[in-house]
Amino acid sequence: MERPPRGMIGVFGGTFDPIHYGHLRAALDVHQALALSELRFLPLNVAVHREQPRASAAQRRAMVEAAIGGEPGFRVDDRELARAGRSYSVDTLTSLRRELGDKRPICLLVGGDAFNGFFDWHRPRAILELAHLVVMQRPGAAIQHDARLRIEVERRRATCRDELERAAAGRIWFESVTQLDISSTGIRHMLALGRSPRYLLPDAVIAIARDRGCYTAQPAPGWRDDSRTPRRHISGKS
């Protein structure tokens, strides 16, 4: 069988406000399990079904870039940030299709919580004509298929990777990812309380959030910032 040009591509959209290890580890799990040739992180511009992000587009982009830097196969795609108005997945995938052509499989990564509401998204059937869905099980979010979703899952569920590779779009794949009960909301909450979010997200992301005042105008008293690097010992030579 002829292989599709340059392999399967993953597309991971999110608010990333801020990006954390729950996103990053799940993305790496999918990247490796499906042997994707590339995985793109797409920070959204204007959210559709939720409150708007606290950090600016430029700040969230910088945090994503810092988080994925150095991981081969990961890259930032800022087409949603560059597009005015609401960030609809169907528009993003249409634009990616124009770039990648009709044949290359596109895998749209979604958390289980997001997948439960898939039929409330804008033009869900058009999305399935443009991409496969890769559903990542998220801690605390049981997959609750409503009747429509159940029918689609029965029709479209792929049970081996080849089924995804053979079609450009239209299949649904469930991937069990490392369960990390981390959310951006929880991290923002910690920062607002002056607690350190360290070990929930990369130090480089914490540093950007701190330096650019993304979530607090100033670090609250009591947030001991151990994420600054490099640290100099007082006794060392400068």
Chain positions contacting ligand ATP, by CB under 6 A = 14-17, 22-23, 26, 110-111, 113-114, 136, 138, 177, 180, 182-185
Amino acid in the structure at residue 91: D
- CB nearer ligand ATP, residue 87 or residue 184: 184
- Give the separation between CA 36 and CA 34, rounded to whole angstroms: 5
Q: Among residues 16 and 173, whose Cβ is nearest to ligand ATP? A: 16
Q: How far is the CB of 14 from ligand ATP (least distance, A)?
A: 3
68: nearest Cα among 214, 204, 230: 204
Q: How far is CA 110 from CA 57, 96, 137, 184, 190, in A?
A: 21, 17, 9, 15, 25
Nearer to ligand ATP, 11 or 114 (CB): 114
DSSP state of 214: S
What is the nearest approach in angstroms of ligand ATP to the Cβ of residue 117? 10
Closest approach of Cβ 211 to ligand ATP, in Å?
21
Least CB distance to ligand ATP at residue 129 (A):
20
17 versus 152: smaller Cβ distance to ligand ATP: 17
C-alpha to C-alpha distance for 227 and 76, rounded to whole angstroms: 23
